[in-house]
Structure 1
């Protein structure tokens, strides 16, 4: 049975695109609010979001110990954007692991480590990907994870440089810190 007519195209769904934009905007805001990127021996905030379909990521992710998103304070991206931003900023400094967000904006409490693609999954992937020299483990994982069928997009904030990157289906769009926020970023326009 061909069920393609029954599938929701999350990649182009307006609500999901808005969710991804909010995640990226939050990463940009956290990057721009941190003033010590150029300080030696200082790591900045780092984050990794994955927007997923389906009820579970258990088939390709493992819990990251006690690293948790505080769902008692902020359970959804859309409900209170100020609360979401402040919670994301705190998690970016205190925790490690991927943050799983469902396409309706609900945030999973447990932070995770996404597993590498298996050889079979790599064989099924339609395109090979090219890692760039600036990519660390978080970015390479986000690039690979974005290729999974039930992952709509991933987004990262680099703790070394403040770079923000959005990944979808094995491709990416990246912005160095100086390019974030356009004319409102005093770093890029000094």
Structure 2
């Protein structure tokens, strides 16, 4: 009976709109960076998790002083330009995952998500996609974390290649930099 009362956040219009805003923000950050491929240069990289519930403390640890600057942008709805500018700065200067609730409120403390333990596997979605050769620890963590019941979506921007990946329920869709921005991307050029 509890499942019949559960809100399906994965297909909720407002949550899907939030996820689209996050995806396009990561794409814009990738497309705005023009030094991809230069030797010894790391591009912007960011890991975002959209979650239900009040806390991720049961499966995440704080990443020390890595914090989202809530004085610049506390919530996404109505503040997309501020969110983009803040995310762009965070992607170049901080480590850890940014936690965002389904209502678009950004948590201050950035986190490291814990590995899934054997005793937790009963409540967690099956992993339907395998790890890919291009995946680093950020991407593997995002794939695993996307399987947790109160995580709707995780998204990553690769600091090595500018690739944007969306992870949901142990599966993912990944977009090379040349595929970002849809019709606005002419040969991988910036559109923001």
Q: TM-score, normalised by structure 1?
A: 0.95
Aligned twin of 2:137: 137
2:149 maps to 149
**1:115-126 mapped onto 2 (5 Å cutoff):** 115-126=114-125
Q: CA offsets, 1:153-181, max 9 Å, x none? A: 00000000000000000000000001111
Paired residue for 1:37?
36
Residue of structure 2 equivalent to 1:53: 52
Unaligned runs of 5+ in 2: none
**CA offset at residue 101 of structure 1?**
0.2
Contact persistence 2:156–2:166 (CA under 8 A): yes
Equivalent residues of 2:18, 2:104 under 8 A apart: yes
Quote the residue 1:83 is aligned against: 82
Distance in 2 of aligned mates of 1:92 and 1:111? 12
> Residue 104 of structure 2 corresponds to which residue in structure 1?
105
Residues 92-131 of structure 1: CA distance to partner in whole angstroms, max 9, x if unpaired? Answer: 0010000000000000000000000001223554523410
* Corresponding residue for residue 14 of structure 1: 13
Q: Report the TM-score, using the length of structure 2 for normalisation.
A: 0.94
Structure 1 residue runs of 5 or longer lacking an equivalent are: none
| Other-structure match for 2:162 | 162
Query: What is the DSSP-based 3-state SS (H/G/I as helix, E as strand, rest coil) of the residue aligned with 1:133?
Result: coil
